[in-house]
Structure 1
Amino acid sequence: MDSLPAPAERGGPRGIQSIEVGGQLLIALAHHGRPLALKDLAREAGMPPAKAHPYLVSFIKLGLVEQEAEGGRYGLGPLALQLGLISLQQYDPVRLATPRIEALAAQLGHTAAIAVWGNRGPTIVRVAEAASPVHISMRHGTVMSLPGTASGRLFAAFRPRDQILAVLAQEKLGPDYLDQQLGPQLSQIRQQGLASARDAVVDGVSALAAPVFDEQGSMVLSLTLIGPSGSLDLSPLGSEAQALIRSGAELSRQLGWRPA
């Protein structure tokens, strides 16, 4: 007679230990937000490198991890990024913001987008094209430059300093750049509740971005408007900017935010 399976351990259902052990490597990569050498990654996951390596080989085959051609460091792979984006898209603020960017695109005649904070920085998760869309690579998963775009500057103004420095480091920029070069711009962005960029990524294309806050006052996403430089008014008092700010404030109130 076959024996019955062992009952679940007290405190919760039984899991697969090897998956939980290997998952520590993924948790370490997600926590650091950057590629790590094998010995560093194994140390963070609490296991010897020889034990970590077979897990990493399997994760690479699945697309959860990828290894750099130069240096051999390990980072999160394409499947991990896709899963992260799907998770972000299911986040309530994104669902609430989606009809707003569609309304903004229809009302203002410019492409509107939602960006959230991802492990590589500001990341586009929704795009609403205008009737005459701007021909620029703006698709789901696009990571926006922190210093060079309206969305990036907006996040730089409102996200925690350590997060901003970690992303700037990927662009070979440090604290001096943040404080001396970006500092005055970020102060103005905080005062106006609006960021702008003219001809920053592509000549002839400009953008505006307004923040959305949650009940704790943390910025959770940006509403971004993208259009031809000749027709998109970047003035904080212009109709496009005011519509964007108003929409961001209304959405923030939906999420429980109350202005100081």
Structure 2
Amino acid sequence: MPAEKSSRGIQSIEVGGQLLLALAHQGRPMALKDLAREAGMAPAKAHPYLVSFCKLGLIEQEAGSGRYGLGPLAMQLGLISLQQFDPVRMATPLIEDLAASTGHTMAIAVWGNRGPTIVRVAEAPSPVHVAMRHGTVMSLRGTASGWLFAAYRSGNEVQSVLALEAASAAEGALRLDDQAFQAKLAEIRVQGMARVVDQAIQGVSALAAPVFDGQGQLLLSITGIGPSATFDTAWDGALAGAIRDCARGLSRQLGAKI
């Protein structure tokens, strides 16, 4: 008979791992007493773990101050992890699960040379859905994805895309310092997501939440879209919560401290 797989781990490794987690969370070298406190253990208990981690290269101790920081092996593991990370690949199964659980179409948008661009779509399982195509560039002022990127990308990038949109629509360019525009962006930052109701297309609504990296930069949006009649756009609604939770969970995987 095949051996049963066990989920039992090694407790001492899990306990010592709290020291690594504390260092990663603080992002700076720490004194023994401070590091031990953050890891929830006494300094005398923490010290033997730190000695072993230093021998492995996971942690190193500063010669002058005696503080402990992440070591060369931790840095190497971090670089390898970054090379393996593909945020779009990581987000794809998440939007598929969201589409299945919410009944609405979900999409991933990234910042392209002409603005927010759809790169993945998970269609709703129900017969009624709103079609979005890969490669579609989303309007900054007409879509939830667009408003989200406008709120979190640099001012120069946003102004450039606003100028492109104005030129293609043969209308006056909107200035980034327009009061109404800035008020909308401020609301998005407070709510942690963007929404539109019957804006770009009558009868269609959308919600978009940001995914950040470890430096706090916006990498992509998780966007839900559907018929306004059945699409709950309430900031505190179940749909908004599901999209927010998905984006925040992925942000944490990518190193964001949120």
Please give the TM-score of this superposition, normalised by the length of structure 1. 0.62
Match of 2:106 in 1: 112
SS of the residue 2:132 aligns to: coil
C-alpha displacement of 1:134: 5.0
Specify the code of the residue in structure 1 equivalent to 2:218. M
Q: Distance in 2 between matches of 1:136 and 1:247?
A: 21
- Deviation per CA, 1:166-209: give whole Å up to 9, x if none: 00001225463553231111001001101000111221111000
Counterpart for residue 207 of structure 2: 208
Please tell me whether Structure 1 or Structure 2 has the larger radius of gyration of its CA atoms: 2
Residues 104, 137 of structure 1: alpha-carbon distance in 2 compared, 3 angstrom cutoff: closer
Aligned residue for 1:10? Answer: none
In structure 2, what is the Cα distance between the partners aligned to 1:190 and 1:207? 17
CA distance in structure 1 between the aligned counterparts of 2:134 and 2:232, rounded to whole angstroms:
25
Q: 146, 155, 165: which one pairs with 1:161?
A: 155
* Aligned: 1:171 with 2:160: no
Provide the residue aligned with 2:191 in structure 1.
Answer: 192
Question: Contact conserved, 1:145 with 1:152, CA < 8 A, in 2?
Answer: yes
- Name which of structure 1's ranges 192-201 and 113-122 shifts more when overlaid on structure 2: 192-201
Across the two proteins, how many residue pairs are aligned to each other? 170
Match of 1:225 in 2: 224
Q: Distance in 2 between matches of 1:175 and 1:201?
A: 17
2:95 aligns with 101
Residues 1:109 and 1:137: Cα distance change in structure 2 (over 3 Å): closer
Cα pair 2:209 2:221 within 8 Å, conserved: yes
What is the aligned-residue identity percentage?
59
Alpha-carbon separation, structure 2, partners of 1:178 and 1:91? 36
- Could you say which residue in structure 2 is the equivalent of 1:245? 244
* Pair 1:134–1:156, CA change in 2 (3 A): farther
TM-superposed deviation, 1:91: 7.3
In structure 1, the residue corresponding to 2:175 is in which secondary structure?
helix
Structure 2 counterpart of 1:129, one-letter code:
E
Matched AA of 2:197: R
Q: Which amino acid aligns with 1:200?
A: Q
Q: Is the 8 A contact 1:110 1:133 kept in 2?
A: no
Equivalent pair of 2:115/2:161 in contact (CA under 8 Å)? yes
The CA RMSD over aligned residues, in Å, is 1.7
| Cα deviation code 1:71-115 (max 9, x no counterpart) | xxxxxxxxxxxxxxxxxxx97010000011000000000000000
Inter-partner Cα distance in structure 2 for 1:126 and 1:154: 17
- Residue type at the aligned position of 1:239: A
The letter of the residue matching 1:92 is D
Report if aligned partners of 2:155, 2:176 keep a CA contact under 8 Å in 1. Answer: no
Q: Distance in 2 between matches of 1:202 and 1:110?
A: 16
- Show structure 2 runs of 5+ residues with no match: 1-83, 167-171
- C-alpha distance in 2 between matches for 1:136 and 1:254: 29
Quick check: 2:211–2:221 contact (8 Å CA) kept in 1?
yes
Structure-2-length-normalised TM-score = 0.63
Which residue pairs with 2:146 in the alignment? 152
Distance 1:180 1:148 in 2: 17
Alpha carbons 1:111, 1:134 under 8 Å: kept: no
CA distance in 2, matches of 1:133, 1:193: 30
2:130/2:227 contact within 8 Å kept? no
Offset from partner CA, 1:195-239 (integer Å, 9 cap, x none): 000111221111000000001000000000001101111111000
Is the contact made by 1:111 and 1:133 (CA closer than 8 Å) also made in structure 2? no
